[in-house]
Amino acid sequence: MGNNALTNPDERLLTVLKYIIKRLIFLIPVLIGVSIIVFIIMRVFSPDPAPIVLGQHATQETVNTWREANGLNNPVYIQYLSFIKGVFTGDLGTSYYTKTPVLKEILARFPATIELAVMAIIFASFFGILIGTISAVKKNSLFDSAGMVTALIGVSMPIFWLGIILIIIFSGTLHILPSSGRINPLLQPPTVTGFYLIDSLIAGNISAFGDTLYHLLLPSLALGMYSMAIIARMTRSSMLETLGQDYIRTARAKGLTEGKTIRKHALRNALIPIVTVIGLQLGSLLGGAVLTETVFSWPGIGSYTVNCILKSDFPVVQGVVMLVAITFVLINLVVDVIYAFIDPRIKFSKKEDA
Partner 1 sequence: MKTVKRLMCTILAVAMLSVILTACGQGANDPTDTLIFAQGADPRGLDPAMVDDGESSKVIVNIYEGLLQYAKDSTKLEACLAESWKVSEDGLTYTFNLRKGVKFQDGTDFNAEAVKVNIERQMEGNATADMSYAGFVFGTVSKVEATDESTVVITLKEKNTAFLYNLAMSLAAPIVSPKALKDNNNNVNEHPVGTGPYKFVRWDKEQAIVLVRNDDYWGEKAKTKNVIFKIIKDNSARVVALNNGEVDMIDGIDATVVSQIESAGNKLDQPDGMNINYMAYNTTTPVFSKPEVRKAFSQAVNVPELVKSLYQGYASPADSILPSFVPGYAKDVMQVTYDPEAAKSVISAAGITSVHVITYSNPRPYNTANGQALAEAIQGYLSKVGVTANIEVFDWTTYKEKVKAGDYDICFYGWTGDNGDPDNFMALLSDKDPSMNVSRYDNSEYKDLIAKGKATPEGPDRDAVYAQLEKIQVDQNPWLLISHSKLLSAYSPKIQGYYYHVTGNIFFSEMTKTK
Q: Is 55 in the site for partner 1 (CB under 8 A)?
A: yes
Site for partner 1 in 63-92 (CB under 8 A): 63, 65-66, 69
Specify the residue, 97 or 337, whose C-beta has the smaller distance to partner 1.
97
Q: Which is nearer to partner 1, 97 or 143 (CB)?
A: 97
Residues in the chain: 354
Question: Binding to partner 1 by residue 158, rule CB under 8 A?
Answer: no
Using CB under 8 A as the binding rule, whether residue 54 contacts partner 1 is answered as: yes
Residue from 83, 127, 304, 339 in contact with partner 1 (CB under 8 A): 304
**DSSP-assigned beta bridge partners for residue 101:** 94
Give backbone dihedrals phi and psi of 43, rounded to 5 degrees, phi first: -80, -25
Q: Identify which of residues 53 and 221 has a Cβ nearer to partner 1 in the complex.
A: 53
- If binding is defined by CB under 8 A, does position 178 make contact with partner 1? yes
Beta carbons of 197 and 146 less than 8 angstroms apart: no
Q: Which of 115, 199, 211, 336 binds partner 1 (CB under 8 A)?
A: 211
Q: Is 105 in the site for partner 1 (CB under 8 A)?
A: yes
Binding status of residue 44 toward partner 1 by CB under 8 A: no
The residue from 108, 157, 248, 333 that contacts partner 1 (CB under 8 A) is: 108
CA–CA separation, 179 and 201 (whole Å): 24
Is position 29 an interface residue for partner 1 (rule: CB under 8 A)? no
Q: Is residue 101 helix, strand or coil?
A: strand
For the bound state, the minimum distance from the C-beta of residue 350 to partner 1, rounded and expressed in Å, comes to 40
- How would you classify residue 93: left for phi > 0, otherwise alpha for psi between -120 and 50, otherwise beta? left
Report the alpha-carbon distance of residue 176 to residue 169 in Å, rounded: 9
Which residues on adjacent β-strands are paired with residue 191?
none
Dihedral angle sign, alpha carbons of residues 305, 311, 312, 315: negative
Pair 42, 80: CB distance under 8 Å:
no
**C-beta of 126 vs 247, nearer to partner 1:** 126
Q: What is the closest distance, in whole angstroms, from the C-beta atom of residue 21 to partner 1 in the complex?
A: 36
DSSP sequence for 143-195: HHHHHHHHHHHHHHS-HHHHHHHHIIIIIIIS--S--S-SS-GGGPPPPSSS-
Among residues 35, 125, 135, 179, the one that binds partner 1 under rule CB under 8 A: 179
Do 263 and 236 meet the contact criterion of CB atoms below 8 Å apart?
Answer: no
CB of 314 to partner 1, least distance (A): 14
Interface region with partner 1, contact rule CB under 8 A, candidates 49-57, 131-139, 146-154, 237-245: 49-57
Question: Contacts with partner 1 in 214-233 (CB under 8 A)?
Answer: 214
DSSP string, 12-64: HHHHHHHHHHHHHHHHHHHHHHHHHHHHHHHHHHSPPHHHHHH-TT--HHHHH
Indicate the residue among 65 and 145 with the shorter CB distance to partner 1. Answer: 65
Only segment of 15-23, 74-82, 142-150, 163-171 that touches partner 1 (CB under 8 A):
163-171
Of 296, 328, 339, 348, the one binding partner 1 (CB under 8 A) is 296
**CB nearer to partner 1: pick between 9 and 210:** 210
**Number of residues this chain uses to bind partner 1 (CB under 8 A):** 53
Q: What is the amino acid identity at position 243?
A: L
Cα distance between the two ends of the chain: 23
**Residue among 305, 336, 250, 354 at smallest CA distance from 102:** 305
- Pick from 8, 29, 57, 90: which binds partner 1 (CB under 8 A)? 57
Among 74, 79, 98, 284, binds partner 1 (CB under 8 A): 98
> Binding residues for partner 1, per CB under 8 A?
47, 53-59, 62-63, 65-66, 69, 96-100, 105, 108-109, 112, 164, 167-168, 171-172, 175, 178-182, 184-188, 206-207, 209-211, 213-214, 294-297, 299, 303-304, 307
